[in-house]
Structure 1
Amino acid sequence: MIASISPALAAPWRFAFLLAVGTLPAWAAGMAAPVSAPEPGQATLDSSSEELASLPLEQLMALQVVTSASRFQQSIAEAPSAVVVLTAQDIRDFGWRTLADALASLPGLYVTNDRNYSYLGARGFLRPGDYDSRFLLLVDGVRNNDSVYDQASIGSEGLLDMDLVERIEYVPGPGSAVYGSNALFGVINVITKAGSAMAGAQAAATAGSYGERGARFSYGWHSQDGTDWLLAASSQRRDGQDLYYAEYEQPGVHDGVARGLDDDRVKRVFAKAARGGWSLSAAYADRVKGVPTGSFGAQFNAPNYTRDAQAIAKAAYAGQLYDGVELAAMAYWGRADYLGVGSYPDAADIMRINVDGDHAMWYGLSAHLTLTRFQDHKIVAGGEVQRNARRDQFNFNLGPYEQLLEDRRKGDRSGVFLEDEWRLSPGLLLNAGLRYDSDSNVGGQFSPRVALMAQVDPADTVKLIYGTAYRVPNAYEQYYAVAGVQQASPGLSAEKISTRELIFERRLDASSMARLSLFRYRMRGLITQELEAGSGVLVFANVDHATAMGAEAAYERQFERGLRLRASLAVQHSDDGGKVQPVNSPRRLAKFNAAVPVPALRARVAAELQCVSARRTEHAYTGGHCVSNLTASSTRLLPRTEVSLALYNAFDARYADPAGPAFVQEALERQSRTLAVKLVFGF
């Protein structure tokens, strides 16, 4: 055992369990504010983030939004999934600095970090060598997964400053019936703020532990004719901490400490404009991250680093063509460049600099029609084409120069889809969809999804969902080959998943709700990175099959004086055909989030608790852990000014994530306690 859960951590586990099964809801029932139910179609997401966050839950669930679950307007309650929406107010309350921070608060999700990237796991699945390619990441509806790794960037390498995010929609479960490849475990759609939400000029400054500092400047504008635009630029830097790894300690030679090598620097630019049904947007991010872990055989305690640059742009139109016929069309472009620089000893123990990298570029068109002219039917039909113009990978040594890999690829993918939301009766809704995709790499794929949603009574809704999804092997998994390190696997086939999920949703009153999800996943051809027996080189292979089953319970409540509470408990079991627990697969996850106003301080105080049970590493186990974060923020201490103070890992818990076969370490310790102060001033 690398670590074990202590008696001190057992109490938070019991507390989180009581929250999830409903003990706390009963206790708090008397505090809830009575709020009348909304009129049909009363509320929409055109509201500001503050107005959205203040809506009672009953009204929030009735919001008519173009959800990421279906691509057409429907209420969250009627979406064919257990959709969760996080607002800009949530981001501010809890001080989330990255998309990974926000997603880690959601039921059934967990995040690991290897001191370079953040990785997202769902319902017991997060395999070594997975670059978040089993989630589809959208930014304002634009595919953000690149064309080499299919990576969804959710950490500090992410495309957006979190201050620019209006809301995050998370749709768990397979989404290939709507979006095609990559949407195995879920779809994440990040909606950015409009200029009206950040009217005028605004400046922000951040300072924190381990040399953290940052700055942002933005300007938003909205006119009476509907023209809206937003410009923003930001820069962040963190020196990082010294890190000890026992695996590298050599008495008399090295103490196993990587000093000054955990730095992180990122710059971002964002622009967005809209008028009428037309919109334009573009974003760019450039990050340089020190890598202190000696991964992939690099020399430990040497200045190894990675650089990631990514950009996206889109032009879109959405509007009504005829009565009951709406069109949404988009042209988009994206680029991602990766560079990894490290020191490696050769066979003669002479240190050489190795440069590893890729260039990815893609562009495409998508369009769909939404038809509401037929009674009791809402139909969406559309298609998209994407050209992966660059899927290039390279690797070479310096001193002297030696080319080890030069692989250039291109590819195409296209898809057509049809979905129908059929209201069988006032309380019974059927959502059925089918998509066909063609990929130049692996051929054609059909992806069906069927969901039956029944409103048993005004308070209770039941959803029964069956869906399938797939993921095409990416260029890195298939074609990356460096002698002695990793071999190519061109014969990989697509991963496929079929899921069954039963969801119970109950509105306890106008200000609280509870949800229980029971799920079973079955995967075929799961792609996993392994060390090849005998040679010791890395290789990707299709595992025969894997299954997962479990339950997620979630509860959310608002109180009359502004207290918001959210809690969840997930119990899950995954199996990849072996007799032992799969690597990096926790059996239990518990989450608790609460935010409350403190009038005496003119502030809001928020706390979150995240607990993860023990996980298996390659040869051992990491212990279970609970991490707490505390945040206080105020917009009323000074005119036009917001001040926040955040304490992350407030009780300095010592915990680690499984490392995977590319590391000497069995597990990598996560960040210790840190403090951050933020000041936002509006001109």
Structure 2
Amino acid sequence: MSKRFLPRALPVIVCAVLLHCASAAQAGTDAADGAAIRTLSTIPLEDLMQMRVVTTASKFAQPISDAPSSVVVLTAADIRDFGWRTLADALATLPGLYVTNDRNYAYLGARGFLRPGDYNSRFLLLVDGVRVNDAVYDQALIGTEGLLDMDMVKRIEFVPGPGSAVYGSNALFGVINVVTRDGSGLSGLQGSLTGGTQGERRARTSYGWHGQNGADLLLSASAFNRTGRDLYFPEFDTPDTPDTHHGVARRLDWDRAQNFLVKGSFGGVTLSASHVARTKGVPTGSFGAVFGAPDRTRDTQTSIGLTWNARVAPALALAAQLQSGQADYVGTGWYPDDAGLPRLNIDGAHARWYGASLNATLTNLPHQKIVLGAELGNDARRDQYNYDAQPYARLLDDRRSATRQAVFVEDEIQLPAGFLVNAGVRFDNHESPDTHRFSPRVAVVYKATSADTVKLIAGSAFRTPNAYEMYYALPGSDGQIPNPNLRRERVTTRELVLEHTLAGGGHATLSLFRYRVDDLISQQVDAASGLLIFRNIDQANARGLEAALDRDFGPVRLRASYSWQLARGTDGVPLIDSPRHLAKANLTAPLGWRGGRVGAELLCSGKRLADQGAAGGYCVANVTLSALRLLPRAELSLSAYNAFDRRYADVGGPAFVQPTLAREGRTLAAKLDWRF
């Protein structure tokens, strides 16, 4: 089979595999009818295992088969079995998603879109349903800079596709809701210690309590430190730059972070607060910094959410939320002055935001569930600054604020003959930039059999340009030009989803999608000045398929996916940092010794274009061995990341001298968890 024929043949092959799985399934009773006439105590265990329920897609609990998207759920058991250390590690295993890293932050791409200079602003990140994207960069923190220690995550719900009909701006390519654990799940004092290569050290202490009256409390604190390793960048190993240590960045790739989580609930009211303080050495000489200098970034973020849920009448449930957030970024770097001598420069941002929302779920109409909602938001601080420290010179002092309001309605209608319609629309009004936007979404769900579901989904979403893209201005040869005239991005999508429940446990999914993005915002180099600038490119289109299989073979579980995606600009050229192929497999199995388990994963990506050249394709394997009953109250796990020491790289972008940046080689870690 030729390489040219392979991409065309793969969709047919995948469809044939899924149809073969469907033909092997046993016929079952209609799940919808069964739920109406049986209590949970009478449902067979196999059926209970198939009742996968999510709340993120529509802001009310619904089976995944009814959700207006191909939702994927990851659990605390998945996090433990595969040794995921960050949210980025977990998301990288999902169909259609890919994660890159520039030795400072982790970036998330979906269905062929990951634009240079974007800080994950095209995904909406929620923690326990509370928005945590900041007010300056709209950044979703998913790496070691993330808000949560992964040991405190109960489940992760990912809703791919446009979510603006429910959530507004930033939900272009998906909504990520991270649900934290409860005190009842810990039941006392717990701790963990981790040691690994490159000087990695982690420590966590957590306490959980649950009272007989329903009160629940969770407290957790953790710390992380990694010294890193020396890195070689051939772009800085040149005869005309003898002061660059022959392209070697020595002891500059270090990373430190501290995380805190407090969560309490009683009588339908939940108060949660999370905080992260992370400092990272930057070894890449990005944005024109002096290579080999001790540059660093420090990010802190705090999120506080107060939620109330109650059924005030048999057919009326209310949910209210108050939230507050604050984020600070400080970048310390050395840059050459006009005479070529290094100068100390401080770059930073301060964001503070508040929000309130109220949702009402009505079920008094036959075969309908209606959600009405209203939101208010105030980005009180969207400040950006930059100055030279020695001698002092103020280069940027931009202070802004903005407000936003939104209303939305969503209706789920149960129709005869196995049909369900989920339709919603949201109106957003943003003060800065001035944006008024209707965002509709409609999904027609057809339950062809008790095991087969067909979904037709159409929708649109938008993203307003953030303060960094519009107002950041910095003079100098490696500076940036502001662009206050940026227009909002708009995405229109069409998707067909086929879902099949497998006999014996598991499910298969096939998604065919087509995206059109208008006014896509990208960071570019201005031809006239040579400075960075964000601009709207006319249009980008993407089409492709995602096939996923989650299958139980007795105690062994296999989760695998393949994605083919083609994203092009208006000129027909494939987008930068956009892989054509993604293939993934995750396998867990018992070892039969002291509760032992093995979790192995394989992550493969096709090549991606860069500004110059390309980042080659790769396959990376990670393995985690766990002994869940090593001691009466202790668990031990051993992990090997990039176990075969595969050499691969990510696209750098216009802020880097390097067209590609090498990813991490093999790293090892040992983790001990105990309960008092």
Q: Normalized against structure 1, the TM-score is what?
A: 0.93
Determine the C-alpha separation between the residues in 2 that align with 1:579 and 1:433: 33
Match of 1:40 among 25, 30, 35: 35
Deviations 1:361-414 (A, max 9, x none): 001101100001110100000111010000000000011000000000000011
Preserved CA contact (<8 Å) 2:627 2:637:
yes
Q: Indicate yes or no: 2:355 matched with 1:367.
A: no
Determine the C-alpha separation between the residues in 2 that align with 1:628 and 1:387: 44
Determine the C-alpha separation between the residues in 1 that align with 2:514 and 2:163: 16
Identify which of structures 1 and 2 has the higher relative contact order when contacts are C-alpha pairs closer than 8 Å and 6+ apart: 1
User: Where does 1:526-565 land on structure 2 (aligned, <5 Å)?
Assistant: 526-560=520-554, 562-565=555-558
2:258 corresponding residue in structure 1: 267
Q: Indicate yes or no: 2:90 matched with 1:102.
A: yes
Preserved CA contact (<8 Å) 2:27 2:451:
no
Q: Indicate yes or no: 2:57 matched with 1:62.
A: no
User: Where does 1:196-345 land on structure 2 (aligned, <5 Å)?
Assistant: 196-251=184-239, 253=243, 254-345=245-336
1:49 corresponding residue in structure 2: none
Determine the C-alpha separation between the residues in 2 that align with 1:99 and 1:657: 18
Match of 1:574 among 542, 545, 567: 567
2:453 corresponding residue in structure 1: 461
Unaligned runs of 5+ in 2: none
Determine the C-alpha separation between the residues in 2 that align with 1:401 and 1:60: 63
Go from structure 1 to structure 2 and tell me whether the alpha carbon gap of 1:521 and 1:61 turns closer, same or farther (over 3 Å shift): farther
Deviations 1:487-545 (A, max 9, x none): 10000111001100000111231412211100000011100000000311000001111
TM-fit CA distance, 1:602: 3.1
- AA aligned to 1:663 is F
User: Where does 1:383-394 land on structure 2 (aligned, <5 Å)?
Assistant: 383-394=374-385
2:128 corresponding residue in structure 1: 140
* 3-state SS, counterpart of residue 78 of structure 2: helix
Q: Indicate yes or no: 2:432 matched with 1:437.
A: no
TM-fit CA distance, 1:552: 0.5
1:447 corresponding residue in structure 2: 439
- AA aligned to 1:583 is I
Preserved CA contact (<8 Å) 1:33 1:559:
no
Go from structure 1 to structure 2 and tell me whether the alpha carbon gap of 1:483 and 1:297 turns closer, same or farther (over 3 Å shift): same
Deviations 1:132-166 (A, max 9, x none): 00000000000010000000000100000000000
TM-fit CA distance, 1:634: 1.8
Go from structure 1 to structure 2 and tell me whether the alpha carbon gap of 1:419 and 1:323 turns closer, same or farther (over 3 Å shift): same
- AA aligned to 2:161 is G
1:155 corresponding residue in structure 2: 143
Go from structure 1 to structure 2 and tell me whether the alpha carbon gap of 1:414 and 1:121 turns closer, same or farther (over 3 Å shift): same
2:634 corresponding residue in structure 1: 641
Say what the alpha-carbon RMSD is for the aligned residues.
Answer: 2.3
Preserved CA contact (<8 Å) 1:645 1:676:
yes
2:61 corresponding residue in structure 1: 73
Go from structure 1 to structure 2 and tell me whether the alpha carbon gap of 1:534 and 1:60 turns closer, same or farther (over 3 Å shift): farther
Determine the C-alpha separation between the residues in 2 that align with 1:315 and 1:367: 12
TM-fit CA distance, 1:443: 2.4
- AA aligned to 2:646 is A
Preserved CA contact (<8 Å) 1:326 1:369:
yes
Preserved CA contact (<8 Å) 2:607 2:617:
yes
User: Where does 1:416-435 land on structure 2 (aligned, <5 Å)?
Assistant: 416-425=407-416, 427-435=418-426
Preserved CA contact (<8 Å) 1:434 1:447:
yes
Preserved CA contact (<8 Å) 1:19 1:568:
no
Aligned residues: 658
Q: Indicate yes or no: 2:81 matched with 1:90.
A: no
- AA aligned to 2:311 is Q
Deviations 1:432-487 (A, max 9, x none): 00100000012211000010000011221100000000000000000000013101
- AA aligned to 1:148 is V
1:678 corresponding residue in structure 2: 671
Deviations 1:262-320 (A, max 9, x none): 00000011000001211111011000000000000001011000000000001110010
TM-fit CA distance, 1:63: 3.5
Deviations 1:555-597 (A, max 9, x none): 111122x211000000010111124321000000001000001
Preserved CA contact (<8 Å) 2:28 2:451:
no
Preserved CA contact (<8 Å) 1:62 1:77:
no
Preserved CA contact (<8 Å) 2:322 2:357:
yes
TM-fit CA distance, 1:601: 5.5
* 3-state SS, counterpart of residue 480 of structure 2: coil
Determine the C-alpha separation between the residues in 1 that align with 2:178 and 2:160: 14
1:470 corresponding residue in structure 2: 462
2:600 corresponding residue in structure 1: 607
Determine the C-alpha separation between the residues in 2 that align with 1:663 and 1:172: 30
Preserved CA contact (<8 Å) 2:49 2:505:
no
* 3-state SS, counterpart of residue 599 of structure 1: coil
- AA aligned to 2:453 is T
Determine the C-alpha separation between the residues in 2 that align with 1:613 and 1:296: 28
- AA aligned to 2:511 is S
Determine the C-alpha separation between the residues in 1 that align with 2:332 and 2:298: 8
Q: Normalized against structure 2, the TM-score is what?
A: 0.94
Match of 1:511 among 505, 527, 532: 505
Go from structure 1 to structure 2 and tell me whether the alpha carbon gap of 1:508 and 1:27 turns closer, same or farther (over 3 Å shift): closer
Determine the C-alpha separation between the residues in 2 that align with 1:510 and 1:418: 38
Preserved CA contact (<8 Å) 2:608 2:614:
yes
1:124 corresponding residue in structure 2: 112
Preserved CA contact (<8 Å) 2:606 2:617:
yes
* 3-state SS, counterpart of residue 210 of structure 1: coil
Determine the C-alpha separation between the residues in 2 that align with 1:82 and 1:132: 21
Match of 2:175 among 187, 196, 203: 187
Go from structure 1 to structure 2 and tell me whether the alpha carbon gap of 1:43 and 1:555 turns closer, same or farther (over 3 Å shift): farther
Determine the C-alpha separation between the residues in 1 that align with 2:550 and 2:257: 35
Between 1:633-642 and 1:352-361, the stretch displaced more is 633-642
Determine the C-alpha separation between the residues in 2 that align with 1:666 and 1:492: 27
Q: Indicate yes or no: 2:153 matched with 1:165.
A: yes
Go from structure 1 to structure 2 and tell me whether the alpha carbon gap of 1:644 and 1:510 turns closer, same or farther (over 3 Å shift): same
Identity percentage of aligned residues: 54
* 3-state SS, counterpart of residue 481 of structure 2: coil
User: Where does 1:520-531 land on structure 2 (aligned, <5 Å)?
Assistant: 520-531=514-525
Unaligned runs of 5+ in 1: 1-6, 8-12, 45-53
Preserved CA contact (<8 Å) 2:452 2:501:
yes
1:395 corresponding residue in structure 2: 386
Determine the C-alpha separation between the residues in 2 that align with 1:581 and 1:346: 38
- AA aligned to 2:262 is A
Preserved CA contact (<8 Å) 1:285 1:309:
yes
- AA aligned to 2:427 is Y
1:174 corresponding residue in structure 2: 162
Preserved CA contact (<8 Å) 1:37 1:59:
no
